[in-house]
Amino acid sequence: MLAPLRLSAASTILPISKIREELQTYMKSTRLSVIEGGAGCGKTTQVPKYLLDSTDDQIVSVLVVQPRRLAAVASAQRVAAELGESVGETVGYSIYLESRRPRRVDRSIEFATAGLVLARVARDPELSGVTHIVFDEHHERNADADLLLAMVKDNPRFKIVVMSATLQTDALLKYLGVNRCFRVPLGTNFAVGTKFLDDVPISRSHKNALRSTLVDDTDVVPEELVELICHASADAIGRYAKQRADTTQKAVLCFLPGWTEIERVAELLQDHLHECFVYRLHSSVSLAKQQKALEPVRSDKMKVVLATDIAETSLTVPDITLVVDSGLCKTMRYSPTSRVSTLRVETASKAAAKQRLGRVGRVGPGECWRLYSEAQYAEMMPDHVTPELGRTNLESHVLRAATLSQPDLFSRTLDPPPENTVAAATRRLISLRALRSPTDATTTQLGDVLVHLPIDPVLGRALLLGVALGVADDAAAIVALAATPRALDVLLRNANLCRFKEASMALCDAHAGKACLVTARHAIDAALHDIVAGRHPDSTFLDALVATLANDLKANLDRDEVGAREQADEDTDIIRAELVPHSKLKAHKDDPGMYELTIADRHLRAGSRNQKSRNYKDAQSTWREKDRLLPRR
């Protein structure tokens, strides 16, 4: 057996450390473990280390699946620090476009996002070297994590651990075929006082307005309530600052639905509260800036972290003394009828409220102020979130399942999506030429390329189509906006909504061509012009946001198949034929070594294979080498 890991003093005071030996015995006795423990008990950082020490195997490799990038990186950094090492030795991480995998061979811990692990499975179905897989924060019901669990739960090669603070225990135990859940009896180390709306120290007008605008869990939250929540949140933070004026222990974590609300509260705080540092935790903020919010502030000023649900799980903001919970979240919902995904403000779940409460009380006593009544919590908040597979566009997931040769994968998940939804996504992929046919739902060469792009297949096809047709800038602008909910959310509030939606619907058509791409781009330009001219508060970040995503797409193309094609072979031409509407390749009648790409009634004469492939790569290179994909406005 390997020598035990050296544990830091910080890890030995966590609640989970009190039952370490019992937990290790449980995990050693079964291949499938289920662990439920309160937020802050130490599951994320300690369970992987306990696994390394609870086996007689000479080689142990623990893969920890996280739903979010920041959680994967922060957890790896925390565990490495507890071992007295740097990231990349015993402990590492892998996220989109960034990887610092552990170098140690005999035993290792790697934190990774679920989507990245699925992509790894496509290349290495056996996940070579991995001995244990830990599914952390399973309550989030991330689609990629649900699919991955369905794939590996019956594989005897792996020991599986599923854990969270808020599990749907009975359903999960039945699904895994086990009869015991190990419960960590304690949560955070310190007492946390919880106040509901009636007891939260905010203005009476805010309380009365919030009481009169409560909504049930089936409704989309009205805009006036969202604006009211922003004002009430800023009010609560300001009053807390006055209460704690004479102490240095004052840091607030405020949960808000999305970026617009984060910026609104930040604006209100700047107007009324000058003695504070404001940090933003949102998926569109750079990882480096997000990590700054996790560091203690050594100042008399109050630290304020404005966050979405990105901060609910697997993160420790060490100096937090107050959590302000808006009771709201933003959820992506897909409409099969309109084939459009929308980001909606909705009431958060009880599970989310429990997770938010668990962000405080880790290093000292704290409070949680909830901007909703106890009655609303009990009667109107759903117990758990709807699984992502049940509310989002399945096309990317169906395409991924096809590359893994597992067409029945969805039926094997914990909560299978409706069969007609899966069938509709399959038909859509066939019409996009990403899958072959209803009787042969395997990927085409175009599908093999699309599955490597970090965007929906429709958008991926639009991106590649733009490159193939010489309008890469237009395609990149559309894709970057449409793939970024924060930017699209702003855009769709504009007067050009109808034009953009019409163009977007046309873009979703399998026969979309150059004219459609240009039309959609014109609609976007008009909307952006109106936003900038009207000094919309979000106008300053739109260009930078689009450029950031576009650069990510460029890096992805450089790394994966599309940018890596150096030899002149027929694959490139087949993919281009699959991209371009009404097209097919046919041999040239006079020279078997030459051929034509036929598009509708037009003939695009191709030269030799080398020449044609070179032209295609030139178009890609032109796009990849641009410093900025959008023209300056």
- Do 49 and 143 lie in one domain? The reply is yes
Mean pLDDT computed over 368-376: 94
Residue 368: pLDDT band with limits 50, 70, 90: very high
The dihedrals phi and psi of 199, each to the nearest 5 degrees, come to: -105, -5
Convert the pLDDT of each residue in 469-485 to its tens digit.
666 666 676 676 666 65
Would residue 631 count as lying in a domain?
no
State yes or no: pLDDT of 464 exceeds 60: yes
- Do 145 and 124 lie in one domain? The reply is yes
Would residue 317 count as lying in a domain?
yes
> Considering the entire predicted model, what is its pTM?
0.79
- Do 165 and 140 lie in one domain? The reply is yes
Convert the pLDDT of each residue in 258-302 to its tens digit.
988 999 999 999 876 677 889 999 887 777 888 888 888 777 788
Tokens 């060469």 -> residue: 445
Mean pLDDT computed over 408-433: 92
pLDDT score for 51: 94
Would residue 132 count as lying in a domain?
yes
Q: What is the mean pLDDT of the chain?
A: 77
- Do 241 and 128 lie in one domain? The reply is no
Q: Which two tokens stand for residue 508?
A: 């979703």
Task: Name the β-bridge partners of 535.
Answer: none
**Of 363, 389, 415, which residue constitutes the final position of a domain?**
389
Query: Which CATH number fits the domain that encloses residue 167?
Result: 3.40.50.300
pLDDT score for 158: 95
Structural domain range at position 67: 9-184
Residue 246: pLDDT band with limits 50, 70, 90: confident
CA 608 to each of CA 4, 484, 598: distance values in angstroms, whole numbers, following the listed order: 64, 40, 16
- Do 177 and 234 lie in one domain? The reply is no
Residue 274 to residue 300: CA distance in whole angstroms: 12
Between the CA atoms of 245, 246, 248 and 253, what dihedral angle is there, to the nearest 10 degrees?
A: -30
Contact 194, 370 (CB under 8 A): yes
Would residue 176 count as lying in a domain?
yes
Residue 518 to residue 525: CA distance in whole angstroms: 10
DSSP 587-605: E-SS-TTEEEEEETTEEEE
- Do 112 and 154 lie in one domain? The reply is yes
Residue 502 to residue 279: CA distance in whole angstroms: 38
Convert the pLDDT of each residue in 598-627 to its tens digit.
333 333 333 333 333 333 333 333 323 222
Mean pLDDT computed over 334-350: 81
> What Rg do the C-alpha atoms of the chain give, in angstroms?
26
Residue 633 to residue 228: CA distance in whole angstroms: 34
Q: How far is CA 289 from the centre of its chain?
A: 17
> How many domains does one find in the chain?
4
Percent of the residues in the chain that have a pLDDT greater than 70, as a whole number: 69
Would residue 22 count as lying in a domain?
yes
Mean pLDDT computed over 132-147: 94
Please name the residues in contact with 147: beta carbons below 8 A apart, sequence gap of 6 or more.
118, 389, 397, 400, 401, 409, 410, 413
Mean pLDDT computed over 9-21: 79
- Do 146 and 203 lie in one domain? The reply is no
Q: Which two tokens stand for residue 549?
A: 């995503």
pLDDT score for 389: 94
- Do 426 and 382 lie in one domain? The reply is no
The dihedrals phi and psi of 585, each to the nearest 5 degrees, come to: -95, 140
- Do 509 and 522 lie in one domain? The reply is yes
State yes or no: pLDDT of 147 exceeds 50: yes
- Do 93 and 109 lie in one domain? The reply is yes
- Do 87 and 13 lie in one domain? The reply is yes
State yes or no: pLDDT of 593 exceeds 70: no
Would residue 53 count as lying in a domain?
yes
pLDDT score for 543: 52
Q: 486-510 as b/e, with b when 16 or more CB fall inside 10 Å? A: bbbbbbbebebeebbeebbebbbee
Q: What is the DSSP letter of 18?
A: G
Angle at alpha carbon of residue 613, lines to 612 and 618, rounded to 5°: 100
Residue 53: pLDDT band with limits 50, 70, 90: confident
pLDDT score for 477: 66
Would residue 399 count as lying in a domain?
yes
- Do 375 and 488 lie in one domain? The reply is no
The dihedrals phi and psi of 561, each to the nearest 5 degrees, come to: -65, -40
